[in-house]
Chains A and B, each alone.
Chain A
Amino acid sequence: EPEVTQTPSHQVTQMGQEVILRCVPISNHLYFYWYRQILGQKVEFLVSFYNNEISEKSEIFDDQFSVERPDGSNFTLKIRSTKLEDSAMYFCASTWGRNSYEQYFGPGTRLTVT
């Protein structure tokens, strides 16, 4: 069964550094999402992406964040200058259509900013 994959599973970085989190959505899916979960808190929506542009973003998704689909298979989340409070689990999800019921989630990348 096709699944969403994410790399790396764990990323440790120093404050102020740039990080890129990578996701490979399911191949025929058209909508892509990033969510994050700070330890002990809720899973929060960051951004959705369709047709090579952001379709919706939350208030969390400020200028430090960007997303890209560089090559038709990968979907990346970049954090330009990491802060301690960016430490979280980041989940990628994809779905075939905007009104599809199920968003298929990847296993997550744990980002630790020191």
Chain B
Amino acid sequence: AQTVTQSQPEMSVQEAETVTLSCTYDTSESNYYLFWYKQPPSRQMILVIRQEAYKQQNATENRFSVNFQKAAKSFSLKISDSQLGDTAMYFCALRPPKDGETSGSRLTFGEGTQLTVNP
């Protein structure tokens, strides 16, 4: 079984500052994919960033970067130069290996962290 845990229900940050959202997970697989999804008030869930577990290099997408610690099963999201439009619910998610055996391609989500960027 796979689990994903986000222990910060809510966070806030001042515009232009940096914030880090935490995520831990558990899986028995050696290879898998990790994602951060953003859900703004419009409710559309949007992929922010992804990380393949076999890659040691942390993924980066513009102002968004991750700190992937495979041994610790930790996958945090750092948002630099926060903008008002970053206000949203952020979900961490895990997916089984690419050639997923019995688990298929389902996503397992964390509880979410509501991020508010203040002007």
Residue ranges of A at the interface with B (Cβ–Cβ < 8 Å) = 3, 31, 33, 35, 41-45, 48, 55-56, 58, 89, 91, 93, 95, 98-99, 101-103, 105-108
Contacts of A101 in B (CB 8 A): 33, 47, 50
Distance in angstroms between the alpha carbons of A105 and B45 in the assembled complex? 5
Interface positions of B from 91 to 108, Cβ below 8 Å from A: 91, 93, 98-99, 104-108
How far is the CB of B117 from the nearest CB of chain A, in Å? 21
Cβ-defined contact, A42 with B107, below 8 A: no
Using a Cβ–Cβ cut-off of 8 Å, how many residues does chain B contribute to the interface with A?
23
- B105 in contact with A108 (CB, 8 Å): no
Contact of B104 among A35, A42, A55, A106 (CB under 8 A): A55
- Which residues on A sit within 8 Å (CB–CB) of B99? 99
Interface centre among B33, B43, B108 (most CB of A within 10 A): B43
Contacts of B45-72 to chain A: CB distance below 8 A: 45-47, 50
Q: Which positions in B face A, CB cutoff 8 Å?
A: 4, 33, 37, 42-47, 50, 91, 93, 98-99, 104-112
Given the known A-B contacts A91-B45, A99-B98, are A42 and B106 also in contact in the complex, defined by CB atoms under 8 Å?
no
Rounded to whole Å, the gap between the CB of A11 and the closest CB of chain B is 15
Chain A: CB-nearest residue to B103: A56
Complex: A35 Cα to B109 Cα, angstroms: 10
CB-CB < 8 A to B42: which residues of A?
107
Residues of A within 8 A of B106 (CB): 33, 45, 48, 56, 58
User: What 11 additional pairs, Cβ within 8 angstroms, besides A99-B99, A105-B37?
Assistant: A43-B93, A43-B109, A44-B109, A48-B104, A55-B104, A93-B45, A98-B104, A98-B105, A102-B50, A103-B105, A103-B107
- Dominant SS among interface residues on chain B: loop
* Residues of A with C-beta under 8 A to B109: 35, 42-44
**Whole-angstrom distance between the Cβ of B27 and the nearest chain A Cβ:** 15
User: In the complex, what residues of B have CB within 8 A of residue A103's CB?
Assistant: 47, 105, 107
Given contacts A101-B33, A101-B50, contact A45 B43 (CB under 8 A): no
Complex Cα–Cα for A102 and B107 (A): 10
* Cβ distance A14 to chain B, nearest Cβ, rounded Å: 25
